[in-house]
C-alpha cells in the first residue's frame, strides 16, 4: 500500500513539472526566448512521460 501511495505522490509532482513546462514555454513564446521554450518543452515531455510511467498498473494490479 505504501508503494502505491508514493507512486501517486510522484505522479502528482510530475504533473506539476509538466504544468510548469507549459507555463515556461508560453512565457518563452511571449518574450521571444527560444531557450526558455526549449527548456519548457523538455520539462513538459519529461513530466508527462513520468506521469504515464508512474501510474501504469503493475503485474499484481488486478488482485
pLDDT in tens, 6-62: 899 999 999 999 999 999 999 999 999 999 999 999 999 999 999 999 988 776 655
Residue 63 included in any domain = no
Residue 16 included in any domain = yes
Domain that holds residue 49: 2-54
Query: CA–CA separation, 39 vs 56, rounded Å?
Result: 26
In this prediction, residue 5 carries a pLDDT of 86
Residue 26 included in any domain = yes
Number of folded domains that form the chain: 1
In this prediction, residue 4 carries a pLDDT of 77
Reported confidence tier of residue 2, pLDDT bands at 50, 70, 90: low
Residue 35 included in any domain = yes
pTM exceeding 0.95:
no
Amino acid at each position: 500500500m505504501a508503494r502505491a501511495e508514493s507512486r501517486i505522490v510522484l505522479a502528482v509532482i510530475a504533473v506539476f513539472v509538466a504544468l510548469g513546462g507549459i507555463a515556461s514555454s508560453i512565457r518563452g513564446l511571449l518574450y521571444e526566448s527560444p531557450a526558455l521554450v526549449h527548456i519548457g518543452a523538455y520539462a513538459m515531455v519529461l513530466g508527462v512521460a513520468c506521469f504515464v510511467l508512474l501510474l501504469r498498473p503493475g503485474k499484481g494490479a488486478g488482485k
